Structure 1
Amino acid sequence: MVKNDNISYRNSEYPQFRPPNGYTKNISSLVSVLKPLQLDLLAVEEINNDDYWKKLCEQLDLNNFITGKCDEWFLSNGIASRYPILSYSNHVYKASGEARAFLQCQLAGDHSFVQNRSFAVTHLDHVNEDNRLAQINYFQPNIDILMGDMNALTEDDYTESYYRRIVAGKREESQWEKPRFDLTDLITRQWGYQDAFRLANSELKDESVATCAYGTRIDYIYLRPRENDPWKLTKCSIVDSGEATDHNIVFAEFTREQS
């Protein structure tokens, strides 16, 4: 089995919210949540390329790891893998809003899931959907598994009442942008990616799908379908991170079909 995970390491998005333990280096808390998942690959946002990142990867037995920085002021994205990293590249876009980055890689080794399969993580703008669209269009992902904090909403995630009270209501109260679904529609409907969580959990809605403190799902694992792929998504869940991070964990598991 190969398991892919997408977490947010710490939060700098909304100054109104702080993680329960502040901006501390919470390695032990993260390990306690992530270790039982027995990950083969981990994708993170908002990290520093430092000894804490190295320590986290090593304690999870993910001894191959890379980072991709946005600019000198903004934190990095990272990927850690149980398998060697064959190649990687980091792409940065800054036009409007903050600089954002797109870190992609291919893995080596004899495991059939990772062979000829590409992985990427990104963290898109937290303020404006037009900025997010500009960023993802610049990156033009041609990736098999795309992960990250998209800061974007999916319309099917919410009932009408929850949408009015929580999604639109909180945004109006806080004077944020009105809810839009352009980015997730672009990725799934125009580019043909599959939303792993929605694929595995077609009926879940509202608070059951929340990945952030504001009661919405903004963290995703997207899959690009392959013809005759023996590896199938068997599970995708949102794992409560407790006090380890300010976002919940998106966890996906793939299993090879028996021939």
Structure 2
Amino acid sequence: MTDFTSEASCFEVEGLSLAYDGKPALRDLTLRIPRQRVTAFIGPSGCGKSTLLRVLNRLHDLNEDVSRQGRVVLAGQDIHAPDVDVAELRRRVGMVFQTPNPFPMSIYDNVAFGVRLQGIKRKRVLDEIVEWSLESAALWDEVKDRLHSSAWTLSGGQQQRLVIARTLAVQPEVLLLDEPASALDPISTLKIEELIRSLKSRLTLVLVTHNMQQAARVSDYTAFLQDGELIEYAATDNLFTNPRLRRTENYITGRMS
């Protein structure tokens, strides 16, 4: 197991197990996710990688049939502690899903939505936040002349970057990405990957992907999961070129699915 002792931690996952209606989805996972790095979760369908991602901002709370053991610590605090404000946790740990989900409103209002919920109303401040967020998501130049057009007029790739801009507007510490480019064309996928690389200078990113080439291109660390277990976790270059375990090698070389 790689301990990444030279890296500052963002998340520390300790003995995490999770089951849906008694059926295990995660089995005794322990890992550290380094701060301001890109960590990728890979593995076959149903291995638990998206479940693990959702645990990091407690989206599993939305399912009443979930049982959980173990701890997930963010900046020294157990995120499941009784005094944790879940809404604030989800501001700090933003989530972007596989399918873009812009709200049925203008581009501007999409980005400003969360900021307004925080009580920020002054137009000048909102204008600055919207511009900064769209620039951070590499979308400003494409939409600056049509900010008040419907977000649904954007292409799929633009919509996904808009959702990222909306998430960045509330200043998260972590960005969770659940296969953010799987529904996009190759050019849009390239833009999302460039964006992921550019964002790690200011926040921590955790990426679930079925595309191992994508994991190799954009991540610093990669965790391979299978049947709810963490099989191998290492620096991405090491995991893909010199895996320690035969199970990992078999997966990344396509000998299993």
Question: Which TM-score applies when normalising by structure 1?
Answer: 0.30
- Which structure is richer in relative contact order (CA contacts within 8 A, separation 6 or more)? 2
**Higher relative helix content:** 2
Report the structure number with the largest CA radius of gyration: 2
